[in-house]
């Protein structure tokens, strides 16, 4: 797959995304929009497109970073308890500060995400049995434990309805004024690019990294901070998009290998294209209603995940 | 020169390396031999700062390695551990280019690429340089890793069981390469090795370890003797002179 094709696909899908919706806007009238249509464009369609692209890009990239740092193809925010920890953090922020501002929610969610991911990394260090499937299973179990604690308190304090919004990724509620937090992901993605080489070396193992004079622990920590922050941002603004950070990097590394400097831009582009596809499909299938992105990516993604598991022989070397 | 003074390492209450003092001569191949659990790999890891020592000093050109910045050490000393289970999918060329990381932090200059090209040529990997590591045979992969170390261009090269899982042909090939690194490029090579005949034929100095202590050290000629080997391995080993090489016969 050439990068050029991905860019073209991204541009075409972006344009399509802008003109799909209940309010019928045709590309022909772009320069002659009524005031109402202009508003639809700027309040709903454009923010939606931007958030899709940022979420797709950043979630795929953090997935790739996680897989590199844990040296396991099946680890991602979904399968390492990161996403569950974010939701736990959001719940805590709702419980403790009833009218939590987005910034406060973000901070608490981030702290929990970081903590959850660190706990997972610690568990990983302790596991003697390094089977490539076993590790994400442990992560899923850990995530489910955190998730059930979250659910318990959500029921107890009658916050379950607030929580479902973050359980399920959904772009339909994205509007001007509700998604801007997501822009914070952009500098994080840039940092990920700058550290690409270091992540690749860290992915070769601690001893390999030390031999080359890399500060291994620092690089791993920076990676995990990026992972926790991006997961928090995306879940807070869009909701959970399961499996995204797992399937996209896996598909890209299949044909590009594990050199992050080479694969990062492809991963970013493919992530955006994939989420855009799923979102457009979700909007068209039961038009004028919508299937949420969480469900769309969940269905398509889990199918691809199973496929990747079946061909895991390729990874067991 | 690397000087090791009274170095010890404990795991729990067990002394893995106990009060070891050694000097590793420049421009030579030094082999660490000894039975399993003698502390050879632990000692090598401490020299290369992969492991911290509990007691003692390790001086590299007169400076304690604990005082050196890790990124500076990466330009002076390199270590290869047993690398058979690395799962990262990189091409040979990409791997070798990481050897320049200590100099370029990942943004390779023309000069860096020249080193990469030379290392690939030196290890005769030119034809397969764009192949992925997982497509290579064990011997090719080991050569690729050594090429990376060559590109890293350190004075000291430490290898932990470089012949592990290699057949005879590839083992000889690797040992010849190490010999050339010393003879042609003036490197100092330290290896942990199990096959005492490879140690006997290719190394200049041998350090025999047992139970975390140095039993004997000296030139290859001094160490490869029936008495010394009996002290180290607790078995009778017959030594034959074949073409000026001392070959140990220990199979029966």
Burial of B13 (0-12, 13-18, 19+ CB in 10 A): exposed
Asked if A209 is an interface residue toward chain B (Cβ–Cβ < 8 A), one would say no
| d(C-alpha A275, C-alpha A293), whole Å | 8
- Give the orientation angle of helix A3-18 with respect to helix A46-70, to 10 degrees: 140
Q: Do B88 and A197 touch (CB under 8 A)?
A: no
Q: Which of B50, B87, B97, B100 to mutate to test the interface with A (most CBs of A within 10 A)?
A: B87
Give residues with Cβ within 8 angstroms of A185, minimum separation 6.
A54, A55, A57, A58, A229, A230, A233, A234
Does residue A312 have a pLDDT over 70? no
Question: What ipTM does the predicted assembly reach?
Answer: 0.88
For residue B32, give both structure tokens. Answer: 């660490």
In order of their start, the domains of chain A are 53-314 (1.10.3470.10)
Residue A219 confidence (pLDDT): 95
Q: Answer whether B88 sits within 8 Å of A204, measured CB to CB.
A: yes
Q: Residue A317 — very low, low, confident or very high, per pLDDT cuts 50/70/90?
A: very low
Residue spans of alpha helices (H) in A157-259? 160-167, 185-194, 196-202, 206-211, 216-237, 244-256
For residue A1, what pLDDT band results from cuts at 50, 70 and 90? low
**A20 pLDDT tier (thresholds 50, 70, 90):** confident
Q: Inform me whether the C-beta atom of residue A207 falls under 8 Å from chain B C-beta atoms.
A: yes
pLDDT by residue, tens only, chain B of 252 residues: 899 999 999 988 888 999 999 999 999 999 999 999 899 999 999 999 999 999 999 999 889 998 999 999 999 999 998 755 566 789 999 999 999 999 998 888 999 999 999 999 999 999 999 999 888 888 888 899 999 999 999 999 999 999 988 889 989 999 999 999 999 999 999 999 999 999 999 999 999 999 999 999 999 999 998 999 999 999 989 999 998 899 999 887
For chain A, give the mean pLDDT: 89
Q: Radius of gyration over alpha carbons of chain B, in Å?
A: 18
Are the CB atoms for B212 and B20 separated by under 8 Å? Answer: yes
Among A221, A197, A260, residue whose Cα is nearest residue B104: A197
Higher pLDDT among residues A61 and A306, named by residue = A61
Write down the domain spans for chain B: 1-76+156-252, 80-153
Mark A26-63 as b/e (b = at least 16 C-beta within 10 Å): eeeeeeeeeeebeebbeebbebbbbbbbbbbbbbbbbb
Distance from CA of A119 to the nearest CA of B (A): 24
- Higher-pLDDT residue of A21 and A187 is A187
Q: Say yes or no for a CB contact (<8 Å) between A71 and B87.
A: yes
Tell me if A70 sits within 8 A of A124, measured CB to CB: yes
> Does A212 reach chain B within 8 Å, measured CB to CB?
yes
How far apart CA A244 and CA A66 sit, in angstroms, is 13
How many residues belong to chain B?
A: 252
Q: Which chain B residue shows the shortest CA-CA distance from A193?
A: B106
Quote the pLDDT of residue A288: 83
pTM for the model? 0.89
A188 and A181 in contact (C-beta within 8 Å)?
no
Of A99-103, A134-138, A230-234, A256-260, the one with minimum mean pLDDT is A99-103
> Per the CB < 8 Å rule, is B101 touching A212?
yes
**Structure confidence by residue, pLDDT tens digits, A58-81:** 999 999 999 999 888 889 998 899
Strands B156-160 and B29-33: unpaired
pLDDT over 90 (residue A199): yes
| Domain spanning B1-76+156-252: CATH 1.10.3720.10 | no
Local structure of A315: helix, strand or coil? coil
Beta bridge partners of B15: B10
The pLDDT tens digits for A89-103 are 999 998 888 777 888
Q: Which two tokens stand for residue B251?
A: 């199979």
Instruction: Report CB contact under 8 Å: A200, B98.
Output: yes
Q: What size, in residues, is chain A?
A: 317
Partner-chain contact A213 B98, CB within 8 Å: no
- Rounded Cα distance, A295 and A289, in Å: 14
Angle value at C-alpha A221, between A218 and A227, nearest 5 degrees = 145
How many CB atoms are closer than 10 A to CB A128? 4
> What is the Rg, in whole angstroms, of the alpha carbon atoms belonging to chain A?
20
Cβ <8 Å between A215 and B70: yes
Q: Which of A268, A314, A183 is nearest to A260 (CA)?
A: A268
Residues 6+ apart with CB under 8 A from B150: B99, B118, B119, B122, B123, B181
Backbone φ, ψ for residue B7 (5° rounding): -85, 135
CA pair distance A131, A308, nearest whole angstrom: 15
Mean local confidence (pLDDT), A185-207:
93
Contacts of B199 (CB under 8 A, 6+ apart): B31, B33, B193, B206, B220, B224
The residues on B that touch A, with CB distances below 8 Å, are 48-50, 69-75, 78-81, 85-91, 94, 98-99, 101-102, 105-106, 132, 134, 152
Rounded CA separation B28/A261 (Å): 38
B136 three-state secondary structure: coil
Structure tokens at A191: 């940092």
Dihedral (CA of B201, B204, B209, B215) sign: positive
């Amino acid at each position: 797959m050439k990068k050029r094709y991905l860019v073209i696909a991204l541009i075409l899908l972006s344009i399509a995304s802008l003109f799909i919706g209940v309010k019928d806007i045709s590309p022909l009238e772009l320069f002659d929009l009524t005031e109402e249509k202009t508003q639809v464009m700027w309040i709903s369609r454009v923010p939606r497109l931007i958030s899709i692209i940022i979420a797709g890009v950043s979630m795929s990239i953090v997935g790739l970073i996680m897989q590199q740092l844990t040296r396991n193809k099946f680890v991602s925010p979904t399968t390492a308890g990161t996403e569950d920890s974010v939701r736990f953090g959001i719940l805590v922020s709702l419980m403790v500060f009833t009218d939590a501002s987005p910034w406060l929610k973000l901070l608490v969610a981030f702290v929990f995400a970081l903590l959850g991911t660190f706990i997972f990394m610690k568990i990983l260090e302790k596991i003697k049995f390094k089977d490539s499937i076993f590790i994400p299973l442990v992560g899923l179990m850990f995530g489910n434990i955190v998730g059930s604690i979250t659910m318990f308190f959500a029921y107890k304090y009658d916050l379950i309805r607030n929580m479902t919004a973050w359980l399920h990724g959904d772009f339909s509620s994205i509007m001007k004024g509700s998604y801007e937090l997501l822009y914070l992901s952009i500098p994080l993605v840039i940092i990920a690019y700058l550290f690409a080489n270091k992540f690749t070396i860290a992915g070769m193992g601690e001893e390999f990294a030390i031999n080359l004079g890399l500060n291994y622990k620092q690089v791993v920590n920076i990676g995990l901070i990026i992972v926790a922050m991006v997961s928090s941002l995306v879940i807070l603004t869009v909701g959970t998009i399961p499996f995204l950070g797992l399937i996209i990097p896996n598909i890209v590394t299949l044909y590009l290998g594990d050199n992050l400097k080479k694969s990062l831009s492809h991963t970013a582009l493919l992530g955006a294209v994939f989420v855009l596809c799923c979102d457009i499909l979700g909007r068209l299938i039961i038009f004028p209603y919508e299937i949420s992105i969480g469900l769309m990516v969940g269905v398509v993604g889990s199918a691809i995940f199973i496929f990747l598991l079946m061909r895991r022989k390729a990874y067991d070397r | 020169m690397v000087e090791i003074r009274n170095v010890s390492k404990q795991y729990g209450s067990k002394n893995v390396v106990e009060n070891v003092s050694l000097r590793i001569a420049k421009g030579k191949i030094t082999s660490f031999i000894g039975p399993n659990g003698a502390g050879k790999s632990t000692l090598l890891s401490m020299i290369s700062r992969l492991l911290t020592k509990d007691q003692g000093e390790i001086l590299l050109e007169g400076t304690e390695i604990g005082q050196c910045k890790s990124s500076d050490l990466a330009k002076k000393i390199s270590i290869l551990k047993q690398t058979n289970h690395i799962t990262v999918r990189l091409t040979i060329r990409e791997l070798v280019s990481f050897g320049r990381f200590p100099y370029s932090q990942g943004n390779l200059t023309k000069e860096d690429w020249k080193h990469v090209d030379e290392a690939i040529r030196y290890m005769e990997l030119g034809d397969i340089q764009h192949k992925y590591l997982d497509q290579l045979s064990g011997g090719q992969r080991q050569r690729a890793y050594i090429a990376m170390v060559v590109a890293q261009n350190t004075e000291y090269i430490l290898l932990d069981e470089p012949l592990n899982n290699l057949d005879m042909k590839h083992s000889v090939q690797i040992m010849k390469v190490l010999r050339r690194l010393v003879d042609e490029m003036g490197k100092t090579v330290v290896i942990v090795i199990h096959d005492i005949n490879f140690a006997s034929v290719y190394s200049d100095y041998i350090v025999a370890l047992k139970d975390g202590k140095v039993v004997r050290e000296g030139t290859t000629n001094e160490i490869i003797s029936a008495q010394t080997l009996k002290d180290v391995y607790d078995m009778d080993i017959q030594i034959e002179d074949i073409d000026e090489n001392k070959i140990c016969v220990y199979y029966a």
